[in-house]
Each structure stands twice: as structure tokens, then as C-alpha cells.
A and B are shown apart, each in its own frame.
Chain A
Amino acid sequence: MEATKKDQNLIVSVSPHVRSEETTSRIMWTVSLALLPALLSGVWFFGLKALFITASCIISSIIFEHLYMKIVDKKTPVSDGSAFLTGLLLGMNMPASLWSFSPFTAHVPIVASFVAVVITKQLFGGLGFNVFNPALIGRAFALISWPKAMTIWTEPAASFLAMDAKTTATPLGILKEEGVAKLMEVFGDKTSLYTHLLVGNRAGSIGEISAIAILIGGLFLLAKKYITWHIPVSFLGTAALMAWVLGGKGALFTGDPIVHLLSGGMMLGAWFMATDYVTSPSVKNGQILFGIGCGALTMLIRLKGGFPEGVMFAILIMNCFAPLIDRGFKSKVFGAVKQTKAKEIK
């Protein structure tokens, strides 16, 4: 307790003088935490190699971020968690079989991390200025550069430590190449197929296989208000609608939307990739349009394109439009429209 003195060194700064607890790094780490169930499901079904792949992406991302910052002489923002999150997402978008692929492909996660962190993010101005989702560009680069290694899928292994597993095709791959009948044959019946997709007992990228695990993380983010419903709901809704209308053999309105929603990267994309703050619109109405675009492009690629899966390209294409959508959907200024109505005497 000290009495009032004259000429005290008062701290002077601009208003507001109080700030919320939220920080950029807390957001990044919370999103990373929300990805944990999906990552664990990947490790459960593909063994420790899934963890190794993801870890090598995370470590490479952090190292590249550090090095870049050192070279350009900027303060290192590694603590903001964004490089970690990018590495995590990138790893979860890779097939676990990369680890056991022959010839040895350990360079794939490293190069993809470089492309994600340095080229996609830092060269565009760093966090907040990248046009494209860094993890997705990293994955796209890897897919185009090493198409074989990136599309060898292994069967979910019963053994946790299994390093070698039988290769197989993803459900979407089967659907594309051999049709829905073959898919049913592989998984038994409809219920069994849905269950496998929900739980994650199927071939695919490490983090995309278990719809339930992803949903847990997504709903967690929704509950924490880190994301809103706008992008996931419009994304998944549009995709489901298109799958139902156009996904059937021959006749319209005979497709199976559930298979499409639960397979491939649909869930991971809609909840965790398309909702990336930096590369999606920040106005709510714009987010709905963005989600519709993602859903529609995904289904166009899946149903009419050459690839079995389209989530990655769909989101990347829509990323380009995010700034434009924000401009078009500029938020409405208070009082701007209701001028005449406001005159009424109550």
C-alpha cells in the first residue's frame, strides 16, 4: 500500500484496456487437440508407422519454419503453433503406407512440409497472408510428384506394431473403378459398410478414416466456438445433395450420400481443412457460399472427374475465391437498409 505520490510513472496506452484471453497460439493448439481423436484412430488402424509419418511432417514443418525465419531475420513464431498444426494436418493427409513403401520414401513428408510451410505460407507473407491451405498444397505437391507412393493404401492392420500390411484400395477407389456392387461385396452389406466408414476400419489417409473421431473433434471446435456451422454444414449438405441426385448408376436421385459423406477426405476436409481461418471467407454468408462451392466441386471431381477423390482440389480451388467472396459479401452496416422503416412512430 503506497500513498499517492506526484509524478508517478503511470502506464499510458490506447483503449481498450482489457483484452480477451484468446490468442492465436491457443487457437492453433486447440485445433491440434481437436485433431487428436482422428490421429489416434489412424494410429489404431495403421499402427505406429502412422505416427511416424505424422511426426516427421510436424518436425520438418517446425524446422523449416525456424530456418526460414532465421534466414529472413524475423522473430520466430514457432510458439504460435501454426507450423505444428500445418505439419499435423499434412501428416494426417498422407497414407500410412509411405513408411513401408519401397523404395524408401521418407523424403516425401519432408519435401511436402517444405512446400507447405515455406512456399505456400512464408513466401506469401507468412501466417495470415497465404492464399492456399498450406497442408493441402503440401499434399497436392506430394501427390503430383510421387503419385504412386501417395496412392498405395494399406488395409487397416489388426496388429498395432504392424509395419507391413496388405495393400488395398480405398472405398472411393473401389467405387470409382468397380462400382457400388463391388463395394458391397468387399464390406458385406450396407450396414457393415457404413459401420466400417464411421469407425474408420478402411483404407485411406491416416487422419481421414474415422468419421466419428473427426466428428468428435469438429463438434468440440463447434462447441468452443472456434468454428461455426456455416462451412461444414454447407460443404457436407451440398455434397450429400449432389451425391444423392447424381451419384446413382443411370437414374437421378438414386445415389448414396452417406457413402460419399463418410469416405475419402470429406469429413476431415469439411471440419478441419475448409474451416481454416486464413484461407476461407470471414463473413458468414460468404462462408456458406464457400462451403457450397467446396461440396459441389468435390462431388463433380468424384463423379465426373478422373480422380476418385476431390476434396483436396475442391478446397484449394475455393481458397482462391475466399478474398473475392469476402469482398462480395461485405457485412451489412448497422442502419444502412432500414432507413425508411425506422421513421415509423411506435
Chain B
Amino acid sequence: MNYLYYPGCSSSSTGRPYEESLLEVFKKLDVPVSELEDWNCCGATAYMAISELKAFALCARNFALAERQSESTGATDMMVPCAACYLGLNKAQRYLHDHAEIREKVKDALDAAGLEYQGRVRVRHPLDIIVNDIGIDRVTSLVSRPLEGYRVACYYGCQIIRPYADFDDQHNPTSMERIIKALGAEVVDWPLKTRCCGGSLTGTAQDLGLRLSKMLLDEASRRGCNVVATACPLCQFNLECYQPQISRRFGKTVDVPVAFFTQLMGMAFGLGRRELGLQRLFVPLRDPSREKVAAGGSHVTK
């Protein structure tokens, strides 16, 4: 079992702790991962708004490169941690598969650069790979420092499970909860786990973006969580890095640690702070066992 790895543009900037922790966790799980050579941007939402066909062609170049690379590694499953990349690549796969007209046009475009894609690549999210390929048992067996006292609100955001993912339920996904429970933490049941965080609106229409992020943080803390786990670099950035702005804008201090689920996995596996990029978080992850715990919400499930 080995995988191709598609980092996505944010892996080298705001999503850096995500990449660091993800790769460390996979090393610990003993699953080989090889980065896709010379990958390009997936197009994300912005590219789709200008030219959809070009966005598909961008994705198709990645698939073509992946197929070429798979000849030496044998891996056709491409691990895509970023939610926007995951959706963009998955969408391209669907459209290339379902619509012959688009397939032909994209094929011509690839031909012009001497590339070819035969449709063998599968786009997978790390949540999917960990739960369905590696298995929760394997995760449990590696836990050396259970996350006792952590009450985690799992936040999936929109684009991982909607509209194309087939590995989890679109209304009430549970894969992240299963992983977090295996780490020895408690899981907070909350209804907003697939609600939009505002995406890039925090930069373009800040008033609206901040409001969406605030609703999520409010609800999560009202339900008694002491850390929000995310699986998308933009969600993590919005929910964490804008907390000072949210506090100022809405006149109420927000102070909730927001971590990538892979960082929590790494902590439970006993990996070091720097290996997991924990020093890059704005709101430090506090060890709940050393803190006086305020009375939790009534929605905490064991």
C-alpha cells in the first residue's frame, strides 16, 4: 500500500503545519507516500469562476503526471489533504468521465504537451485513507499518549464531503470522529460540522467571512469543546488566525485552539511538537489535564 501525494499550493504557506504533521503521521503509520513530481495548482474555486475547461485541464495534467509516476511506484491513489484541491480534482474526474465533449477537449490540450491520461488515478482524502485503508485498529495500536481531557469538535468544512465524496455521509460525516475517539479524546457532538467557514470571503468580504467563522467557533465552544479539529488548510486558517479580528468585531473574546486532525494524531502517537508544526499555531494547544476545566456542555459523548 503506497500513495501519491498531492500537496496543493497552501501546503507551503498557511497550511504548512498540516503537511508537516500529515507526513510525520504517515511515516509513523509506516505507509509510504511519494510527492507528485512537478504538480500544478488544481484551479480551486477561483479558476473555476473564469474558465472551467482550463481548470479541468490543470487537473488533467496532474492526473497525467500521476499516471506516469505510477509506472515506477505502482501507486495510482492520490492523497489530497486540502479540501479545495480534493473537490477540484474530484470534480474534474467526474466531468472527464461523464462528458465526452469535455474529455475530448482536455485530451487535445494534453496532447499539445505530449501528455496522456487514461483514467486510472483515484483521488483520496487522508481521512478516507486512514479510516478505510489503514484502519482504526492500526491507529489505536500506535497511540502511546492518549489525548485524555481533550474534548474535540470535529469540523469537516464543506468541500471534503460535498458534493462528490463517497467515503462518508454528506449530512453527518463520522470518519474524523472515529479517528479522534481512537486517540483517546472525547468527541463533542455539534451540528455545524459541515457548515461553510466562509472560505476566501474572510479576505474579500471580511464582514461576512468573519461572521460565518464566528458562528462556528461560538457553537463549538458552547458545546464544551476545548479544541476544534479541522481537515482543510483554509478552514483552519479562518477559524484560528482571525480570532483576534472576530473578538474585536463582535466584542466578545474568542479563544479556541484549532488544530489539524493530523496534529492531534501525531500528539497521541508521541511525536514531537516541532515535527507536528504545533509551534506554528496562533492559539497554543493547551494540555487540558493541567488546566482547571470549566463545566462542559451537556452534549459531550464518550
* A and B part of one assembly: no
